[in-house]
Structure 1
Amino acid sequence: MTSPTTARPSELWFTRCPVPTATGIAADRGWLAGEFADDGIAVRSLQDVPRDLAADHHYTHAHPALFREGGNVPALWARAQGEPTRLIGLTWIEERQSVLVRENSGITGSADLRGARLAVPVHGIAIDFWRAMALHGFAGALSAAGLGLGDAHLVEVPGSAHGQWEAELAALARGDVDAVYVKGALAVEAAARSGAVVAVDLDAQPDRRARVNNGTPRPITVHQRLLDEHPDVVDRFLAVLLATADWARGNGDDVARILGAETGAGDAAVAQAYRGVGHTSLGVDLSDERLELLEIQERFLHSQGFLRQRVDVRGWADPEPLRRARALVARRPPY
């Protein structure tokens, strides 16, 4: 992977998580590659390089020609580590967050989690976003009953390298823990395989703050160097994402197909996990509300020791690329 200089880059890179993202949809449709083809700029995915190198850049965002649309835990962590990234957009997509229990466990709601043994996975990675997701997911579920993490027992479960939540669900089946936090389409399928049932549906909570987690809100970040040296490139990349979100609103069937490929889940699980995606919005903004929700996540991560220093979310955000990208979209024909 080559690094850009002040000359126009020959390559742009993007990375996204296996979840609903405008980046993933735009890549599938060929729109990112098409945007820069006449410039002689190749647009490539980190999935095209060896996994160990890709994973490092996905988490650290150390490559200056990289756009990242993914979980906020690694994004905030990279910023707290001192990487000069900038936040240029946020999305909010409901993605089926729930707390699963054994059938007939007697746990049927948030209040029943008092004193329960909650599975907290532990993975040997630089930033354990799985652990962070579980902790904040349980905190959100407990908050609905006026409880906190201190009102339950946190049980560490060694994470599995073979499938998401498999280790936690196995611990649940054995009776080692009483509850597991899951999210997304693959979680729907894993729950069905394990026979676990939903005790707390976080998507049903009326207060969005109970659902703040790794993907809610989901940031789009770019390296400060690329933004400084080639702001027009950043604007155009972001304009493709905005136009893609507009296209997705009227093309739900195509979006569902793409999400199946992105997540590796079947049609039924995608439909259950991402209700309304494509028919509602993959829209990008930096509204006060979304920034406030990200600030909640930043405070939680710092309080739990995931961030070595605080991140000034509003200072991290740069609204100018989004403003310029919206102006570009307004002048272009829609996809």
Structure 2
Amino acid sequence: MIDILERPSASAPAPVKVGAREAWYTICPTFVASNVAQEFGWIEEELRKIGASLSYLRSLPVEQGYLPHFSHRFAHLFRDGGNIPSIWAKADNVDTTLIGLTETQHGGTIVVRADDAARSVAALKGRRFGLSRSANPARIDWWRATSEQGILKALALAGLSRADVEIVDIANDDRGFGEASRPSELWAKRRGDLVFTPEARALEAGEIDAIFASHGRALGLERTGGFKQVEDFSRHPDWALQVSNSPYALTVNTDFARANRDIVVAFLRATVRAARWLDGNREAGAAILHRVTYHPSVADTAAAIAGTDFLPALTPRKLAGIDLQKRFLVEHGYISRDFDSRDWADASYLDEALESLPS
């Protein structure tokens, strides 16, 4: 049996042929256990036990492997990481199943230049906030969605609204980048780009006055001496403020999952093994996660994951985080169709994986 990925068109590359027992994966540069499982080779190990194989989506040429990372329009695909593309994929692209969520610990920051007199977001009333705008119409502008959500949260905390500041679009021409054999190889090539984003460069040049940045990016910018934070969502007890392209979503194409339940369970077994290993090996885990994420140093990574629960789950609060994210995407026009996250989620695969492993 051969499955065809993406329908061919006059301008599209030839579709990729995939064997019936071949699973593919893609993982964002985020703090999720699957990133450790793949670095250890545990996912491949678990799949080999049941006669299946594993391939990395980004090992394909960019024209074949880049867009499916966002759209999920690639048969037999597991995707773990930021939930905005996963929600968009489910809403507007292809039927997927949510099989796990990992909760993030940090909702992001607002960053200004170090020489700015502002010491708070309230002091930025009437100033210019940079907001990335992708030049790639074929994928969801997840970067813009994440930043817009963060900016609006920060303004609300300061008693301000969007009308109180000027939003300046910053062009982002990211249309994909080269292939790699595994995530650590891919992100090693991109570490600097992930910190000095187009918005950060516009801020440095004085074209804007403030940007939203994730915790890791903010640390990298601060270390240059040219930037500072005036808001840090992690200082607030409100867990909803930490929803920022998170909770991280582990999804799989539904047709593939139904036809290959054992492969899905095997993938989750490896992920659970990695989560449990991380619980008892935080320092060693930080060194591994540093290869596939972008905090400035291993020590920064260790500090960032100190309180992280890496075991994927579909708990009520994690699903409520998905609802908050989805509501924002619907209300701001990032997705065209709403759906019930409880119907999207299927905990039976994770339950089976947990039951098959020693406690």
TM-score in terms of structure 2 length: 0.84
Residue of 159, 167, 170 corresponding to 1:157 = 170
Q: Does structure 1 conserve the Cα–Cα contact (< 8 Å) formed by 2:108 and 2:244?
A: no
Give the superposed CA RMSD. Answer: 2.4
Match of 1:100 in 2: 111
Q: 1:195 offset after TM fit, Å?
A: 0.7
1:241 aligned onto 2:241? no
Listed as ranges, the matches of 1:1-335 within 5 Å are 3=3, 9-95=20-106, 97-125=108-136, 126-159=139-172, 161=174, 163-164=193-194, 165-193=196-224, 195-214=226-245, 216-263=246-293, 266-267=296-297, 270-272=298-300, 275-277=303-305, 280-330=308-358
1:157-177 deviation line (CA, Å, top 9, x unaligned): 112658234321222123221
Hey, what's the Cα distance between the residues in 2 that align with 1:292 and 1:264? 27
Q: Which runs of 5 or more structure 2 residues have no equivalent in the other structure?
A: 5-17, 175-191
Q: 1:19 offset after TM fit, Å?
A: 1.8
1:3 is aligned with what amino acid? D
Q: Which runs of 5 or more structure 1 residues have no equivalent in the other structure?
A: none
Q: Does structure 1 conserve the Cα–Cα contact (< 8 Å) formed by 2:21 and 2:52?
A: yes
Secondary structure, in 3 states, of the residue corresponding to 1:300?
helix
Q: 1:82 to 1:160 in 2, by over 3 A?
A: closer
Q: 1:223 offset after TM fit, Å?
A: 0.9
Hey, what's the Cα distance between the residues in 1 that align with 2:51 and 2:342? 35
Match of 2:7 in 1: none
Hey, what's the Cα distance between the residues in 1 that align with 2:353 and 2:211? 41
1:220 is aligned with what amino acid? L
Q: 1:25 offset after TM fit, Å?
A: 0.5
Q: Which runs of 4+ in 1 moved over 6 A?
A: none
Hey, what's the Cα distance between the residues in 1 that align with 2:244 and 2:234? 12
Q: 1:21 offset after TM fit, Å?
A: 1.7
1:92-140 deviation line (CA, Å, top 9, x unaligned): 1224721110124232223223322111011122211111111011122
Q: Percent identity?
A: 29
1:138 is aligned with what amino acid? I
Q: Does structure 2 conserve the Cα–Cα contact (< 8 Å) formed by 1:21 and 1:282?
A: yes
1:139 is aligned with what amino acid? L
